[in-house]
């Protein structure tokens, strides 16, 4: 896997894998080096792994909209059960609109619809992509029937059944994309496999709660507010836990384009949550806090997307953890 030049300082023994980090023995104070320390890079400056070919805005948009849709279906069912008709209608129509746009973004990235349909030729429980395709196929019509009944007022029994079905599948729709990105070789995604689904579910709940706050009139904001606060707490808590556990591999979440999006998400989440609590009796504050929460969820998905691509491009995030695991085993 690793190449080396025809002349090596070890008498023909190939050097250690080149990782993009400085290596070499420590010198005593005042000791002059015989040769300068090496700053290694990967072979021919190429990444160690093939990075994702997914594009922006299609894939981060697909991740964001899917989470918004799944959590909105849950909010729609809860709002309907508690008599919050305005929030229920907004959540149901928002869920159908979001999942429709999510599918458009996915198909656009795939290149043609036939590639999505080809994934339905088999059922493979070990493949998040395959399971996700089946989930979307089942969830989309349910969300559509639920929204149509809410808007037209017709076929209420069918609408209620569709609402219940969409709410049942909603959490899985919001979570499976977290498993999807973790089921890759991209270090910042794969190494966060324990927390990533919780981050995605929390982010989806944050967006759905924000959408509900935008639409909620006075007296109907409780369900949306509670969902938004739950989502914000889960998302930020799981993200912090993931960063602490990943150590060096979490650096792309604090640097570059991914880091900018993640920091924006944190600020917007906290501002939106504060507005949701403090603006209970102020419609304008509720709407502004809801918009901030929706934007925070979007920034989280864009931040995760770009951080993953950056971690795939830098070989140290692949090789250094491999070395550490080998050292632990030995």
pLDDT confidence of 5, banded at 50, 70, 90? very low
- DSSP secondary structure letter of residue 32: P
State pLDDT tens for residues 11-32: 444 444 444 444 444 455 555 5
Task: Give me the mean pLDDT over the 134-143 stretch.
Answer: 94
Global pTM reads: 0.82
Residue 22 sits at φ, ψ, to 5 deg, of -70, 140
Q: Which residues contact 39 (CB under 8 A, 6 or more apart)?
A: 22
DSSP at 97: H
User: Which pLDDT belongs to residue 54?
Assistant: 87
Query: DSSP string spanning 217-257?
Result: -TT--HHHHHHHHHHHHHHHHHHHHHHHHHGGGGGGGTSHH
> Taking residues 121-148, what's their average pLDDT?
90
Q: Is the pLDDT of residue 307 over 60?
A: yes
- C-alpha dihedral sign at 259, 263, 264, 266: positive
Give the pLDDT of residue 162.
97
CB 76 within 8 A of CB 95: yes
The mean predicted confidence, pLDDT, of the chain is: 86
Size of the chain, expressed as the number of residues it contains = 330
The whole-number pLDDT of residue 44 equals 60
């Amino acid at each position: 896997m690793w190449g080396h030049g025809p002349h090596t300082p070890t008498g023909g023994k190939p050097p250690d894998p080149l990782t993009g980090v400085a290596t070499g023995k420590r010198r005593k104070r005042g000791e002059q080096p015989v040769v300068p320390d090496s700053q290694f890079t990967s072979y021919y400056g190429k990444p160690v792994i093939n990075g994702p070919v997914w594009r922006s805005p299609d894939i981060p948009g697909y991740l964001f909209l899917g989470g918004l849709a799944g959590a909105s279906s849950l909010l729609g069912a809860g709002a309907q059960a508690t008599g919050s008709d305005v929030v229920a209608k907004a959540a149901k129509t928002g869920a159908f609109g979001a999942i429709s746009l999510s599918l458009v973004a996915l198909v656009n990235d795939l290149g043609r619809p036939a590639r999505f349909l080809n994934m339905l030729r088999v059922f493979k429980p070990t493949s998040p992509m395959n399971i996700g395709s089946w989930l979307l196929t089942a969830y989309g019509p349910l969300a559509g029937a639920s929204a149509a009944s809410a808007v037209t007022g017709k076929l209420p029994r069918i609408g209620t059944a569709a609402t219940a079905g969409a709410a049942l599948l909603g959490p899985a729709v919001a979570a499976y994309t977290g498993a999807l990105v973790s089921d890759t070789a991209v270090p910042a995604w794969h190494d966060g496999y324990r927390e990533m689904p919780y981050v995605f579910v929390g982010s989806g709940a944050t967006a759905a709660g924000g959408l509900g706050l935008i639409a909620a009139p006075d007296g109907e904001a409780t369900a949306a507010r509670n969902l938004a606060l739950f989502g914000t707490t889960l998302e930020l808590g799981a993200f912090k836990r993931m960063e602490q556990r990943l150590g060096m591999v979490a650096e792309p979440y604090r640097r570059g384009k991914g880091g900018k999006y993640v920091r924006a998400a944190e600020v917007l989440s906290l501002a939106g949550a504060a507005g949701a609590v403090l603006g209970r009796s102020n419609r304008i504050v509720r709407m502004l806090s809801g918009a901030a929460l929706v934007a925070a969820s979007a920034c989280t998905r864009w931040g995760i997307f770009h951080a993953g691509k950056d971690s795939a491009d830098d070989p140290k995030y692949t090789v250094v953890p491999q070395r550490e695991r080998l050292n632990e085993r030995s």
